[in-house]
Amino acid sequence: MTEHNGHKGNGAGSLQIQVVDERQVLREVYVGSSPRRTDRVRIYIAEEQRILRDAYQSFFLSRPDMEVAGASDDTRAESLTKVALALAPDLVLIGIRVLQLTSVEQLEAVRESCPDLPIVLLSAYYDDKGIKALREFSRSTTSGWAYLLKHNVDTPEQLAQVVQSVAQGRIILDPAVLVGLMDARDGGMELLKSLDPREMEVLSWVAKGYTNSAIAAALGVEPRVVERLFAAISSKLCSRSASRDPRVHAVELYLRATGQLRDGIVSEG
């Protein structure tokens, strides 16, 4: 096994990339001395829409691995920072109607005061300026976070998986908005734009280290469906003459597109 470490920002947020054999997936975790693990996640909910706020609370309270530290409709950075310092939740879930430039500025303010606070952000819509700002935020963050479109969260279990992953330091991006986060100057990113939303969704799960069977279970489909989708992904992203494993190559493209992997970090040996 070969390990390559690249530094993102200051402090404890180093990006650890592991290439474990050519047949296995490239994995990424954000770590201090080791990945953050927690059996019970304390969540603070800041959701503008009451119906969703109540739904999140009801769901999280029903799970033995989740705890609700508090809830509010106030998503301002000042309020979230006070809550984080006073209640010390393991994660903050923020729900807004529209992701705009000001939304990302609020995230940056929270991150500046609480750099180790994992954040799950959900919105109903987004605009171009918001997505561009989010791309820069994604590249500079050193702790777990996720951005999802509300209508793409199909089940409570999917949301719980995201919360657990982000609490452990992972980064999760909604496949439907990934294209907006890509750096168009990089020719490799153009390849990812050839994927349809379902293929991008599968690739995002692969990049999180899930096997085909685990992805199938998460999506509620048969494993052969995932195999067929990944075959389509490979045919679009990987040259037949390439010597690299298609899974590793596809995940590397994804990580570069989302700002989680810098040039020169990964090599095979």
Q: Of 201, 211, 159, nearest to 179 (Cα)?
A: 201
Prediction pTM value: 0.64
The model's confidence at residue 29, banded by pLDDT at 50, 70 and 90, is very low
Q: Residues 148-192: pLDDT tens digits?
A: 999 888 889 889 989 998 998 888 888 777 766 665 445 456 677
The amino acid that residue 157 corresponds to is E
The whole-number pLDDT of residue 238 equals: 76
Dihedral sign from CA coordinates of 200, 203, 208, 211: positive
List, for residues 244-258, the tens digit of each pLDDT value: 688 888 888 877 776
From-to residues of CATH 3.40.50.2300 in the chain: 41-168
Cβ pair 200, 175 in contact under 8 A: yes
Query: Strand 66-72 to strand 171-173: parallel, antiparallel, or no bridges (unpaired)?
Result: unpaired
109-121 pLDDT, tens digit per residue, is: 999 999 999 999 9
Handedness of CA 230, 226, 175, 168 (dihedral sign): negative
pLDDT at 229 over 50: yes
108 near 135, Cβ under 8 Å?
A: no
> What is the Cα–Cα distance from 59 to 234, expressed in whole angstroms?
37
Region(s) of the chain under CATH 1.10.10.10: 2-35+181-257
41-168: CATH number: 3.40.50.2300
The CA distances from residue 266 to 32, 153, 157, 207, 242, in Å, are: 20, 32, 33, 15, 16
Q: Of 99 and 13, which is predicted with more confidence?
A: 99
* Radius of gyration of the chain measured on its C-alpha atoms: 18
Domain 2-35+181-257 listed as CATH 1.10.10.10:
yes
Angle at 31 between CA 25 and CA 33, to 5 degrees: 125
Q: What is the pLDDT of residues 80-101, one digit of tens each?
A: 999 999 999 999 999 999 999 9
Residue 215 pLDDT class (50, 70, 90 cuts): confident
Of 16-20, 52-56, 170-174, where does mean pLDDT reach its minimum?
A: 16-20
